[in-house]
Amino acid sequence: MKDKGIIEKITSVAEMIFKAKNVVVFTGAGVSTESGIPDFRSPGGLWDRFDPDDFTIDKFLHSAKTRRKQWRILIAGGAFSEAMPNQAHMAVAELERIGKLRCVITQNIDNLHQKAGNKPETVYELHGNMRWLRCLSCGERIYVSDMLKTVQLQELDGFPFCPRCQGLLKPDVVFFGESLPEDTLQEATWQARNCDLMLVIGSSLVVYPAAYLPMYAKDAGAKLVIINKSETPFDSEADILIQEAAGKVMKSILESVKYQMQLKL
């Protein structure tokens, strides 16, 4: 963080967080790449190696062959691996702990915000959570770690079945062709429209309807900060734009917020 312009922006963002009453963080895949989870759309990501058409809900429901293929792809792609939170996740969780963050809205399915320390009830997962499987028959949710206590992923012949009713278990994430969870989207939309500052971290803002949320915040009068290595369609709308990796930036922002809080004691 030797660039004077970046340091000034970090200080300004910290001041905005310090003064704001309702801060919402919106995160995308770029916040988790530093934890070793590849962006699905970047070179080397899941869609660079596999056909997204294999992950439609229609194929999952109607083709046992496709379900087996999906299961193998998810295992090979590391979807069930235990990644660890990075500096960005830890900074976001710490902002909540010190009372400067109301909630996190995330496009990610990796559970890393909760693992870093954000309360589960303050994390709105627009695309679901890969740590869980849901039965399509009885609605039972099974934590993947609990399932792995009795069986290894590689031993399963295709997707596993519900131990309660023997119905199909599906990763509790949004497949192509499925709508976002309505209740979660409604709650996230309300949070976006009622914040006074939104920080977008690691999202390219090209996946809809999730990408509308920062604009809902902006249209309602909130300040908008975008922290992302690449350009987004809404860069011109940002009050502050930082095109750097999320980890070091968020760590520095957190340190600056804490410093300002100490000065006010």
- What are the tokens at 107? 């496009």
Tell me how far apart the alpha carbons of residues 245 and 258 are, in angstroms, rounded to a whole number. Answer: 21
CB atoms within 10 A of CB 3: 10
127 catalytic per annotation: yes
Asked whether the beta carbons of 200 and 214 are under 8 A apart, the reply is yes
Which one is catalytic: 62, 89, 113, 127?
Answer: 127
First to last CA, the chain: 27
Tell me how far apart the alpha carbons of residues 75 and 188 are, in angstroms, rounded to a whole number. Answer: 30
DSSP 126-161: TTEEEEEEEETTT--EEEHHHHTTT--GGGSSSS-B
Identify residue 100 by its one-letter amino acid code: K
Q: Are strands 103-106 and 141-143 parallel, antiparallel or unpaired?
A: unpaired
All residues at 6 or more sequence positions from 261 whose CB lies less than 8 Å from its CB, including other chains: 18, 98
All residues at 6 or more sequence positions from 216 whose CB lies less than 8 Å from its CB, including other chains: 189, 192, 193
> Is the previous residue joined to 43 through a cis bond, with omega within 30 degrees of 0?
no
Active site residues: 127
